[in-house]
């Protein structure tokens, strides 16, 4: 029994030995060459550079986007508004209506402050920065996610908001700043500013009483400082921020200018969930917007109510943005690939160049060598072949040896 065991064990050991992928070669049988050494140094440097770049790549993160049906069906939607209309506050009413037909006073109240439409130099500078940022985002749309969460440079001055007026004017205020947040149902709806305060109308909706507003007082030129949905997030630039529309005097200015203008904005709101290291966990909304405007003139067949109408609808798909590190296992695999691959390929290249050099030398090369190979002595040929097998072609011409 015991002898059987011993025999078995010996056999197993033999099999394992045969599987050895790292056979030991006697040092006497190895030959090192100057060319091989040079190539090895190059290879080590190359591998080092590749490994460094791989580590740098590993330490960066990438953004991953995917889509999901928006499953939050009981939600509320916050609308943040800050805009200025070129009419006094007493003349206009601002509120939201949505598809549920709910009483608008349930959504909250917006503040309305009398102000001046003209901007002071500092305010103008700020407003132009906002417009520039927006212009940049529109032309380089792909850069959105890089710029969106930044908190430095141009964005940080953007975050501070519209500066106060440096000098108080003693003129009558000619404009109205409408600002604040409304909490509406998460369904399609519209936000509008038209002439006259609104009164609720049975059974649903409301009406704006515009009888008291004189024709010549209509002017829906406006400037939007901020229009966003959801909680405010630092660094997000919304498409409407920096929007400015100024109606010019129409040709029908006699005896009085009548400026019935309708501005419409159509929006698709896209819920966005952001999970990044810099911005943290943020649930917010982005939107795409289309702008239309026209002059109302019933005798010309252009009907409607003068005012600013912002219609929004919600997208059914939610975008998820996540910042991710490269997987660590892949990093290991790539490292092994680099080291092994560079060694193997450089060895092959070394071998081939050696072979090519050999062929060139034999063909066109030095006569002594050719003679040697024509009539070799038996011992010579033996050593020659031996050397060939072990060292491979070397870059040093044979006849020197």
- Which residues bind to ligand NAG, rule: CB under 6 A? 86, 117, 174, 219, 221, 245-247, 249-250, 252, 257-260, 293, 297, 299-300, 351, 354, 388-389, 392-393
Q: Which of 320, 188, 183, 182 is nearest to 267 (CA)?
A: 188
- 256 in helix, strand or coil? coil
Position closest to ligand NAG via CB: 392
| Cβ atoms of residues 96 and 189 within 8 Å | yes
Closest to ligand NAG by CB, 305 vs 333, is 305
Instruction: Please state the closest distance from residue 358 (CB atom) to ligand NAG, in A.
Output: 7
Closest to ligand NAG by CB, 117 vs 149, is 117
Instruction: Please state the closest distance from residue 10 (CB atom) to ligand NAG, in A.
Output: 34
Q: What is the DSSP string of 282-341?
A: EEEEEEEEEEEEEE-BGGGTB-S--EEEEEEEE-SEEEEEEEEEPPHHHHHHHHHHHHHH
First-to-last C-alpha distance (Å) of the chain: 61
Closest to ligand NAG by CB, 88 vs 322, is 88
CA distance 153 to 155: 5
Closest to ligand NAG by CB, 281 vs 299, is 299
Structure tokens that stand for 375 in this block:
């009539």
| Cβ atoms of residues 120 and 167 within 8 Å | yes
Closest to ligand NAG by CB, 166 vs 249, is 249
From the CB of residue 377, how many other CB atoms can be counted at a distance below 10 Å?
9
Instruction: Please state the closest distance from residue 95 (CB atom) to ligand NAG, in A.
Output: 23
Closest to ligand NAG by CB, 338 vs 357, is 357
Instruction: Please state the closest distance from residue 86 (CB atom) to ligand NAG, in A.
Output: 4
Instruction: Please state the closest distance from residue 118 (CB atom) to ligand NAG, in A.
Output: 7
CB environment 309-345: b (16+ within 10 A), e (fewer): bbbbebbeebbebebeeeeeeeeeebbeebeeebeee
Instruction: Please state the closest distance from residue 97 (CB atom) to ligand NAG, in A.
Output: 24
């Amino acid at each position: 029994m015991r002898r059987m065991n011993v025999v078995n064990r010996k056999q197993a050991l033999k099999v394992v030995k045969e599987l050895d992928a790292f056979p030991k070669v006697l040092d006497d049988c190895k030959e090192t060459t100057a060319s091989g050494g040079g190539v090895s140094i190059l290879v080590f440097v190359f591998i080092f550079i590749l490994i460094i770049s791989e580590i740098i790549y590993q330490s960066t993160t990438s953004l991953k986007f995917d889509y999901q049906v928006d499953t939050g069906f009981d939600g509320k939607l916050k609308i943040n508004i800050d805009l200025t209309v070129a009419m006094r506050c007493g003349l206009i009413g601002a509120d939201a209506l949505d598809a549920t037909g709910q009483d608008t006073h349930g959504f909250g109240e917006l503040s309305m402050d009398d102000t001046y439409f003209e901007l002071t130099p500092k305010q103008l500078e700020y407003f132009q920065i906002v417009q520039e940022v927006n212009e940049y985002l529109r032309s380089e749309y792909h850069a959105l996610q890089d710029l969106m969460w930044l908190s430095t440079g141009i964005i940080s001055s953007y975050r501070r908001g519209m500066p106060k007026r440096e000098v108080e004017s003693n003129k009558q205020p000619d404009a109205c700043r409408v600002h604040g947040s409304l909490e509406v149902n998460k369904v399609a709806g519209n936000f509008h500013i038209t002439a006259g305060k609104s009164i609720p109308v049975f059974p649903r909706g409301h009406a704006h009483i515009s009888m008291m507003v004189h024709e010549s007082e209509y002017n829906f030129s406006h400037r939007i400082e901020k229009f966003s949905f959801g909680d405010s997030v630092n660094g997000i630039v919304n498409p409407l921020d920096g929007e400015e529309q100024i109606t010019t005097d129409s040709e029908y200015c006699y005896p009085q200018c009548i400026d019935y203008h309708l501005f419409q904005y159509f929006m698709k709101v896209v819920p966005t969930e952001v999970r990044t290291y810099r911005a943290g966990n943020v649930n917010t909304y982005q939107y795409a917007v289309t702008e239309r405007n026209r002059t109302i003139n019933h005798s010309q067949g252009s009907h409607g109510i003068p005012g600013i109408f912002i219609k929004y609808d919600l997208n059914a798909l939610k975008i998820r943005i996540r910042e991710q590190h490269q997987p660590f296992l892949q990093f290991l695999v790539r490292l092994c690939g680099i080291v092994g691959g560079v060694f193997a390929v450089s060895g092959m290249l070394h071998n081939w160049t050696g072979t090519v050099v050999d062929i060139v030398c034999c063909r066109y090369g030095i006569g002594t060598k050719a003679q040697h190979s024509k009539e070799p002595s038996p011992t010579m040929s033996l050593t020659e072949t031996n050397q060939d097998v072990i060292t491979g072609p070397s870059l040093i011409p044979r006849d020197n040896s």
